Every structure is written in C-alpha cells, then in structure tokens.
Amino acid sequence: PLEYDSLMRQMAERLAAVLRNRDRIAWLDNGRFAIILHPTPRPDLESMIQLSGRLQKAVEAPFSVAAQTITATVHVGFALMHRAPEMTGASLLASAELAAEEAKRFGPSAIRAYSIEIQKAAKARSELVSEIAPALDRGEIQAQFQPQINTDTGDVSGVQALPRWIHADRGTLNETDILPAVEAAGLQNRFAEVILFDCFAAIQKWRK
C-alpha cells in the first residue's frame, strides 16, 4: 500500500539523519531495516547501545501518513564484527538478525547484542519446531489454569488458560517457547484444538 511505503520511506529518512554519510541503510522485508556502519576505531558494546537508542528515538516519534498520526515501536538487534561466527558480511547480518529476533521476544523497544548464548537459544528454538507436532499428538502440551480473583469479594471470577509443554529433556516450557514453535510449524489450528479440549474438559470436571 502507498501508506506503508510512505511510512517506510519516512523511517529511512529519520534513520539516515542519525547516521553518518558513509553509513548505509538497506530496506529489508517485513518492516525491517539493515544498517551497515562504516568502520570506526574500536566500536564497543556501549557505543552501539547508545546508537541503537538514538535510532529508536528517531523512529518512535509520531509520523504523519495520509492525514493520520502513526506511532511505531522499534526493537533493535546488532552484531559487532569480532563477535560474529565468521568475518563475513553474511555472517554479520545473520548474527544481527538473531539479535533482533531476541529483542523482539522481549517486547517493544528492546535492544539486544549478538552473543553465542543468543545463537544457542535460537538453535534450541529451531529444534522445538520439529518436535512440536509429536508433542501435540502425545499430549505433552497442556493447558494449565491461572485463577482470576474478584478483589471485592475474594471469589474466583474466572481463569486464564496458559499452555505448558512438559518436555522430557528441557523441563516445563511456557508460551514464550511454545507459541513461536507453533507458528513456525504452521500448527496454530491443531494447537488451538488441544488447548480448547483441555479447557472444555476442565470446565466439565469443575461443574461435577
């Protein structure tokens, strides 16, 4: 849509205003930008965090698009060359994208730097994608229930269904691990069936 293109162009202009002339911006898919910084003497973690914050501040100010005001939130992932697995552009970009995915998991406006721990966590999540279908079939993914309390009377007024995966090797996993694996595997409908079945079974049991 034209409105989306206009918004992205405005974002790119604001990002460019924060950067130096020799830095480069690439517009990727799914509302993402890649920024390639011209080499600087001794770039460190603190300076990259400060730059990430300035970029966020520039883009999170309101935009005017088609006579509407739009406010965006931005998560940032970055990678320092000496921390990337290989000294190549492809490795650096892949590392920054892993850091950005980790930032996204922690909510709006999060900033994360690439590290070997993030790479290991991403590998573990990737492995969960291949395990999710058998886990649903074996009943390893279940709904657990968190009561909601009426603060005036102290009575239980409702419950929230929370998915839990009883994993043989990793212990109990919660929705932050389960939902991305479900989405990546394209099993949203099957997952919904499992959770709804547990909810209906619980209601029937409580009524008895």
Cα separation of the two ends of the chain: 54
pLDDT at 40: 81
Tokens describing residue 119: 């790479």
Do 55 and 75 contact (CB within 8 A), yes or no? no
pLDDT at 198: 96
Cα-Cα-Cα-Cα torsion 44, 50, 53, 57, nearest 10 degrees, comes to -140
| Beta-sheet pairing, 111-113 with 76-78 | parallel
Strands of the sheet with 156-167, listed across from one edge: 141-149, 156-167, 171-173
What is the rounded distance in angstroms from the CA atom of residue 127 to the CA atom of residue 181? 9
Q: Please name the residues in contact with 46: beta carbons below 8 A apart, sequence gap of 6 or more.
A: none
pLDDT at 43: 80
What is the rounded distance in angstroms from the CA atom of residue 180 to the CA atom of residue 124? 12
| Beta-sheet pairing, 33-36 with 63-65 | unpaired
Tens place of pLDDT per residue across the chain (208 aa): 788 999 999 999 999 999 999 999 999 988 899 999 998 887 889 999 999 999 999 999 999 998 899 999 999 999 999 899 998 999 999 999 999 999 998 888 999 999 999 998 888 888 899 999 999 999 999 999 999 999 999 998 999 999 999 999 999 999 988 998 999 899 999 999 999 999 999 999 999 9
Please state the pTM of the whole predicted model. Answer: 0.68
pLDDT at 1: 73
| Beta-sheet pairing, 141-149 with 111-113 | unpaired
